[in-house]
Every structure is written in structure tokens, then in C-alpha cells.
């Protein structure tokens, strides 16, 4: 596999509005992030992925952009952003910006023009269609609302939106619009950023004709249309390939075959992708399914293109709550999941707060939630006559706000996040779970992440090593046991994804004489030449095999 700097990197995602508030307005901001850069650097990460900071009415937390070349006042100013870039680079780290080019805000001047009349030169920058028999052009559902179509009174046509009504999709068939997007991307790249996370990139291409879907609830039809790759190759030629950067595409509903088209090194599109077979499509931990997903993606991409490893971002419930155990074994399972993500093939992503084992939340009333996806769904279901309480309870486990509560810095009021009123409630467990405590304790989750990342830095096997499962545990619903090997080096990773104590007998090649423990989330006493291991709940071990 070709060696490239970003393949060896660890990425840290900063959801800035919930990171650190420097001015007491209740929102995290860029100045706050600058003040906490040492904290991020000490973890050992290389790249910061910054959620959208562009000018925006902020209905979908920055994913509704109204000016691509200005900074949203809640986040700060362009000057502060420049300072941020400088400070990130001064610490030897890189900064990638989260860019949304599938849609804009309905308050973007382009859309305001497009909507003003059918003859407006920007009319075709968005997707406008006549209705069908007095109804929307087709029956598609959008991510955040019952229809992808919204009626416009003035021009008497519908416009298309994959997400909220306030997020009209750009028409990528329009060359003038594409050129403007590429110009804007170059403007950011010329400022010296190190890449993009490209939002909802699988959605760019639309069908020529919007036929009805047989199963409108299954919104796969929104994604991965063939024309998409023509756009990505053009984008690469017009912008990306001229810079030493890294790009990651957010691609829902992709198969590895499809995924390879985005990231194959010989195709000139993107560098890596996020597929959502786990986060969006696997509601609770399912060991066999997870193994199957990993196997399939490894087979599909290895040696040809890169994958990413993550169990949640700002759109999903925190991993320790959803896939681990956020009660008795919070610390152990947080470390075990980390061990897995950093030792599986792919580039590991850490979502802020994960490194201290932050957990999801359950707010008591819908008013305490902010997530537009959840709120729209709530209104829709309650509107159908369903019991409001029951709807709330059903939406809580997967609300996107589970990962959006502010970073817990210490046990002072508002977890040290803000001196004002936080834009969203703090998780009440901040007195027990916070960064200050983790920094004090040598066995904390934070300290474990540090060790894990340091290990990756020193050992190429974690990056370039081939992956193989031990056949003995392939069908185990509790254990995940695999090796990574490169040249003469072999590492063995043993993970217990359960609350049970489990006794296993390793094959003779891995007996005590041939293995050396590199890292574990419990203190392990290895005695004699035993082949047996007794694994404790959520135990994780990394061995080097000689
Ligand atoms: O998410 C888009 C997306 O395609 C989904 O896969 C996502 O996983 C889903 O919302 C899960 O609930 C991106 C951003 O990450 C999200 O925050 C934005 O709201 C969305 O695009 C619209 O821009």
C-alpha cells in the first residue's frame, strides 16, 4: 500500500459549538477551540475536522450555509479563524473544513435569486419542477421531512431538498454553479487548509426524471447515482489534486464496490470515506454483523483505497452508550471500543468527548432538544395522533443531541464549558465524567487514548498491516480476535465485547512465550507458558507476537 501522511493520521472531530465557549454567549467558538488546542495536541492526534463554521441561519447547526466565504458570528470572525489555522499548524497539526455542497440554506443569496422568478439566471442553480396533478413531482421522502419537495407560491413550482425544507439542493448539472463552487473551494485551499470533509457527497447527482419510489420510506434512492462520479472527478481536477490535502466523503448507503469508486487511488476522486453501515444501519451492538461489515469492506478496499473507522460522529448517539456499556463498565468499554477502532484497518476518528468516555443523554421534554431531524420527526408523528410521550421516548435513543451536549471540562457549573447559559443542556453526569478528572488519573480513558495513539505513531503495522481474523472466534458473538501483520511483525488483538468473563485458549503460535503485551485496559498478569487467557468484561489486549 502506498505510504501517505494522512493514512498514518488520527483525526479528532471538533463540534465547535459544544467544545469551549470563550465569550460567555453559551456557544462554543473558534477562540475557545484555540484555547483548548494543547489539550487536543496532547492526545497525539494529527488532524482536526472542524464542523461547518460558515455563515448560516444555523437551523441545522451550520449545515445550512448562506455564505461560503464568511464565518458565522457565533463561531467568531475570519480573523479568529485565520488565527486558528495558524495555531493548529504551529502545533504540527492539520485542519480540515467541513463543507456542504449538496445544498445551501434557503437564505443563501443564490437561492433567493433562484426563487425570485423562473427567468432568473440562477433559476437552474437549484432543482425546480412542476407538480403532478396538483401534488409534488414524486413521492420521495427527505431525510428530515415527509417530502423532498417544497411548493413555492411565487413561481408556482416545487424545489427539491434532500434534508430540511430550509436546505434546498444545488443542481449539480449546472456548470456555472459548479464553477463557482470550485472557485470557492480553491479560495479556502489557498488559505492553507489541509482538506475537506465533504458533507452528504453521495447525494450530488439526481435522476433525470423523478419517478415514484416503490418504498418511499427507504431513502436510499437519494444516494449514489452514477453521474456523481463524473462530478467528483471534475472537482478533483479543478481543485483537490493541486494541493497536498486529505479529503473524506460522507457517503450514506454505499457498498464497498460503490465505495471504491469514491476512494480508489487510481480514480482521482476522494481519499477516504465514511460509510454508515454501522452508525446509521446497525441500531445496537451486533458483533457478527459488525465483523461481516469489516470483512467485506476490508476485502473491497484494502490496497486500493482507504476507509475510516468510527462508531459515532455528531449525528449519532455516543459509542459508549450505544455500543458499549455506559454504566458499570463505562471506562472499560470506552477503552475497548477505542482499541478496536485504532487497530482495525482504516483511519481512526475520535469524536470530541469520546476520549473521556462521554455518554448520551435523555432530556425530559422535547423543548430541551435542538436536533432538527428529531424535532421534525416528533412534529410529524404527534401530528398523526400518536401519544406525545411515547413519540419522545421512541426518538430519544437515537437523537443526534446525544452526542451534541457540551464538552465536560471540569466539575464547575456548566462543566466549565461556558460562563453563560449553554445552547443545549449539559449532561448531568459532568461531575463524575470530565476532562480534568481524566487528566489527573493515570488509568483514565484519556490516558489510554494517548497510549493507543502513541503506539500507532511508532508502529506502522497498525496502519499498513494486513488484517486477518483468527478462525476460532470468527463466529463468536462476544469476542473479536484478529491480527495485523506487516513484514515480519504480527500483532494480535483480543477484544471482549461482553460483560462476561471468558476463558480462551489461544493457538500454539500465540502462547505466552511468543507473545508480548503492548497495551491492555486492565492490568494483566501473564504467568508461565500458559496458552489460556482469562478475559474480563470488555477487556481489550494488544500483543506483539514473535
Ligand atoms: O449528514 C447527512 C447524512 O447523510 C446522514 O447519513 C446522517 O448520518 C444522518 O443525518 C443521521 O441521522 C450530514 C451531516 O453530518 C448532518 O449533521 C447534517 O444535518 C446533514 O448532512 C445535512 O447537511
**pLDDT at residue 171 above 80?**
yes
Is residue 22 situated within a structural domain?
Answer: yes
Query: In terms of domains, do 533 and 499 share one?
Result: yes
Residue 509, domain CATH:
2.60.40.1180
Q: Give the residues across from 195 on adjacent strands.
A: 246
Query: Residue 260, Cβ neighbours under 10 Å: how many?
Result: 19
Tell me, using a 6 A CB cutoff, whether residue 100 lines ligand 1: yes
- The rounded distance, in Å, linking the Cα atoms of 412 and 430 is 9
Tell me, using a 6 A CB cutoff, whether residue 373 lines ligand 1: yes
In tens, the pLDDT along 380-414 reads: 999 999 999 999 999 999 999 999 999 999 999 99
516 CB-near residues (< 8 Å, 6+ apart): 543, 544, 545, 546
Supply the residue whose CA is at minimum distance from atom 16 of ligand 1. Answer: 315
Is residue 456 situated within a structural domain?
Answer: no
In tens, the pLDDT along 174-208 reads: 999 999 999 999 999 999 999 999 999 999 999 99
Q: Where are the beta strands (DSSP E) in 207-291?
A: 246-250, 272-274
pLDDT of residue 64: 98
Is residue 457 situated within a structural domain?
Answer: no
Enumerate the H helices of 226-286 as residue ranges.
228-238, 256-263
Query: In terms of domains, do 211 and 271 share one?
Result: yes
pLDDT of residue 531: 77
Task: Say if CB 49 and CB 98 are below 8 A apart.
Answer: yes
Q: Ligand 1, from 102, 196, 250: best to mutate by most atoms within 8 Å of Cβ?
A: 250
Q: Where are the beta strands (DSSP E) in 377-536?
A: 466-469, 479-486, 489-496, 502-505, 515-520, 532-535
Query: In terms of domains, do 442 and 515 share one?
Result: no
- The rounded distance, in Å, linking the Cα atoms of 5 and 264 is 17
Q: Please say if 8 is a catalytic residue.
A: no
**pLDDT at residue 337 above 90?**
yes
Tell me, using a 6 A CB cutoff, whether residue 199 lines ligand 1: yes
Query: In terms of domains, do 394 and 411 share one?
Result: no
In tens, the pLDDT along 291-307 reads: 999 999 999 999 999 99
Residue/partner pairs of 504-513 with CB below 8 Å, 24 or more apart: 504/473, 504/479, 504/532, 504/533, 504/535, 505/531, 505/532, 506/531, 506/532, 506/533, 507/470, 507/472, 507/531, 509/545, 510/543, 510/545
> What average pLDDT score do residues 171-175 get?
98
> What average pLDDT score do residues 130-150 get?
97
Query: In terms of domains, do 301 and 382 share one?
Result: no
Domain that holds residue 384: 364-404
487 CB-near residues (< 8 Å, 6+ apart): none
Per DSSP, the three-state class of 196 is strand
Is residue 172 situated within a structural domain?
Answer: no
Q: Give the residues across from 482 on adjacent strands.
A: 469, 493
Per DSSP, the three-state class of 109 is helix
Cell of residue 530, nine digits = 500458559
Query: In terms of domains, do 40 and 68 share one?
Result: yes
pLDDT of residue 460: 98
Is residue 56 situated within a structural domain?
Answer: yes
Specify the pairing of strand 157-160 against strand 195-198: unpaired
Task: Say if CB 300 and CB 257 are below 8 A apart.
Answer: yes
In tens, the pLDDT along 413-445 reads: 999 999 999 999 999 999 999 999 999 999 999
Tell me, using a 6 A CB cutoff, whether residue 63 lines ligand 1: yes
Tell me, using a 6 A CB cutoff, whether residue 310 lines ligand 1: no
Query: In terms of domains, do 359 and 293 share one?
Result: yes
In tens, the pLDDT along 496-523 reads: 999 999 999 999 999 888 999 999 999 9
Tell me, using a 6 A CB cutoff, whether residue 60 lines ligand 1: yes
Query: In terms of domains, do 336 and 376 share one?
Result: no
Cell of residue 210, nine digits = 423523478
Is residue 167 situated within a structural domain?
Answer: no
Ligand 1: which atom is nearest the Cα of residue 64? 23
**From the CA of 351, how far away is ligand 1's center (Å)?**
15
Residue 320, domain CATH:
3.20.20.80
Quote the mean pLDDT of the chain: 97
Query: In terms of domains, do 372 and 414 share one?
Result: no
Which is the catalytic residue, given 31, 87, 199, 315?
A: 199
Query: In terms of domains, do 201 and 307 share one?
Result: yes
From residue 4, alpha-carbon distances to 56, 261, 322, 362, 489 in Å are 35, 19, 33, 42, 20
The secondary structure element, H or E, covering residue 175 is: helix 175-190
In tens, the pLDDT along 444-489 reads: 999 999 999 999 999 999 999 999 999 999 999 999 999 999 999 9
Supply the residue whose CA is at minimum distance from atom 9 of ligand 1. Answer: 315
Q: What's the total number of domains in the chain?
A: 4
φ, ψ for residue 232, nearest 5 deg:
-65, -35
Cell of residue 381, nine digits = 408523528
Altogether, the residues listed in the chain come to a count of 546
In tens, the pLDDT along 199-251 reads: 999 999 999 999 999 999 999 999 999 899 999 999 999 999 999 999 999 99
Whether pTM exceeds 0.95 = yes
Tell me, using a 6 A CB cutoff, whether residue 166 lines ligand 1: no
CA-based nearest residue to 308, from 436, 198, 469: 198
pLDDT of residue 529: 54
Task: Say if CB 312 and CB 362 are below 8 A apart.
Answer: no
pLDDT of residue 513: 87
Q: Please say if 531 is a catalytic residue.
A: no
Q: Where are the beta strands (DSSP E) in 180-241?
A: 195-198
pLDDT of residue 363: 96
Supply the residue whose CA is at minimum distance from atom 23 of ligand 1. Answer: 63
- ∠ CA 213-217-223 to the nearest 5 degrees? 65
pLDDT of residue 268: 97
pLDDT of residue 195: 98
> What average pLDDT score do residues 68-87 get?
98
Ordered strands of the 128-129 beta sheet? 128-129, 157-160, 149-152
Burial class (CB in 10 A: 0-12, 13-18, 19+), 243: middle
Is residue 77 situated within a structural domain?
Answer: yes
Query: In terms of domains, do 291 and 414 share one?
Result: yes
**From the CA of 250, how far away is ligand 1's center (Å)?**
8
Which is the catalytic residue, given 55, 58, 150, 250?
A: 250
Is residue 176 situated within a structural domain?
Answer: no
ipTM: 0.95
**pLDDT at residue 527 above 60?**
no
Query: In terms of domains, do 304 and 418 share one?
Result: yes
**pLDDT at residue 530 above 80?**
no
pLDDT of residue 459: 98
Amino acid at each position: 500500500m502506498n505510504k501517505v501522511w494522512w493514512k498514518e493520521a488520527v483525526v479528532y472531530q471538533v463540534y465547535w459549538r459544544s467544545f469551549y465557549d470563550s465569550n460567555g454567549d453559551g456557544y462554543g467558538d473558534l477562540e475557545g477551540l484555540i484555547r483548548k488546542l494543547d489539550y487536543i495536541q496532547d492526545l497525539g492526534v494529527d488532524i482536526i475536522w472542524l464542523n461547518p463554521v460558515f455563515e448560516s441561519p444555523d437551523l441545522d447547526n451550520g449545515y445550512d450555509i448562506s455564505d461560503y466565504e464568511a464565518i458565522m458570528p457565533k463561531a467568531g470572525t475570519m480573523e479568529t479563524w485565520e488565527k486558528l489555522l495558524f495555531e493548529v499548524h504551529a502545533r504540527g497539526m492539520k485542519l480540515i473544513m467541513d463543507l456542504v455542497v449538496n445544498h445551501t440554506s434557503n437564505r443563501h443569496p443564490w437561492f433567493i435569486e433562484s426563487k425570485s422568478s423562473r427567468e432568473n439566471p440562477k433559476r437552474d442553480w437549484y432543482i425546480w419542477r412542476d407538480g403532478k396533478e396538483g401534488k409534488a413531482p414524486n413521492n420521495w421522502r427527505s431525510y428530515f421531512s415527509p417530502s423532498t419537495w417544497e411548493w413555492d407560491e411565487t413561481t408556482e413550482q416545487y424545489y427539491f431538498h434532500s434534508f430540511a425544507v430550509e436546505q434546498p439542493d444545488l443542481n449539480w448539472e449546472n456548470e456555472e454553479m459548479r464553477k463557482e463552487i470550485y472557485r470557492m473551494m480553491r479560495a479556502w485551499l489557498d488559505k492553507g487548509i489541509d482538506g475537506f470533509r465533504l458533507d452528504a457527497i453521495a447525494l450530488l447527482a439526481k435522476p433525470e426524471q423523478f419517478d415514484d419510489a416503490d418504498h418511499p420510506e427507504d431513502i436510499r434512492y437519494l444516494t449514489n447515482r452514477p453521474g456523481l462520479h463524473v462530478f467528483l472527478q471534475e472537482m478533483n481536477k479543478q481543485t483537490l489534486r493541486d494541493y497536498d490535502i486529505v479529503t473524506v466523503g460522507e457517503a450514506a448507503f454505499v457498498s464497498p464496490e460503490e465505495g471504491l469508486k469514491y476512494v480508489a487511488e487510481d480514480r482521482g476522486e476522494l481519499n477516504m470515506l465514511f460509510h454508515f453501515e454501522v452508525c446509521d444501519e446497525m441500531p445496537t451492538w451486533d458483533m457478527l454483523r459488525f465483523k461481516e461489515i469489516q470483512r467485506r469492506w476490508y476485502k473491497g478496499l484494502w490496497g486500493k483505497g482507504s476507509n475510516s473507522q468510527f462508531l459515532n460522529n455528531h449525528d449519532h448517539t455516543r459509542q459508549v452508550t450505544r455500543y458499549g456499556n455506559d454504566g458499570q463498565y463505562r471506562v472499560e468499554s470506552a477503552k475497548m471500543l477505542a482499541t478496536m477502532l485504532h487497530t482495525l484497518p482504516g483511519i481512526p476518528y475520535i469524536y470530541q468527548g469520546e476520549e473521556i468516555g462521554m455518554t448520551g443523554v435523555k432530556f425530559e421534554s422535547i423543548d430541551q432538544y435542538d436536533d432538527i431531524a428529531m424535532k421534525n420527526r416528533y412534529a410529524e408523528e404527534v401530528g398523526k395522533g400518536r401519544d406525545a410521550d411515547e413519540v419522545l421516548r421512541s426518538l430519544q435513543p437515537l437523537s443526534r443531541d446525544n452526542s451534541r451536549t457540551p464538552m465536560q471540562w471540569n466539575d464547575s457549573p456548566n462543566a466549565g464549558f461556558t460562563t453563560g447559559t449553554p445552547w443545549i443542556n449539559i449532561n448531568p453526569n459532568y461531575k463524575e465524567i470530565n476532562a480534568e478528572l481524566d487528566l489527573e488519573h493515570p488509568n483514565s480513558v484519556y490516558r489510554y487514548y494517548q497510549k493507543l495513539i502513541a503506539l500507532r505513531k511508532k508502529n506502522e503495522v497498525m496502519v499498513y498491516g494486513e488484517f486477518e481474523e483468527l478462525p476460532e472466534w470468527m463466529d463468536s458473538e462476544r469476542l473479536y480476535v484478529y491480527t495485523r501483520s506487516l513484514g515480519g511483525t504480527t500483532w494480535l488483538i483480543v477484544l471482549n465485547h461482553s460483560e462476561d468473563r471468558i476463558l480462551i485458549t489461544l493457538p500454539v503460535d500465540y502462547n505466552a512465550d511468543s507473545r508480548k503485551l503492548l497495551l491492555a485496559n486492565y492490568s494483566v498478569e501473564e504467568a508461565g507458558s500458559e496458552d489460556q487467557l482469562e478475559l474480563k468484561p470488555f477487556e481489550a489486549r494488544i500483543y506483539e507476537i514473535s
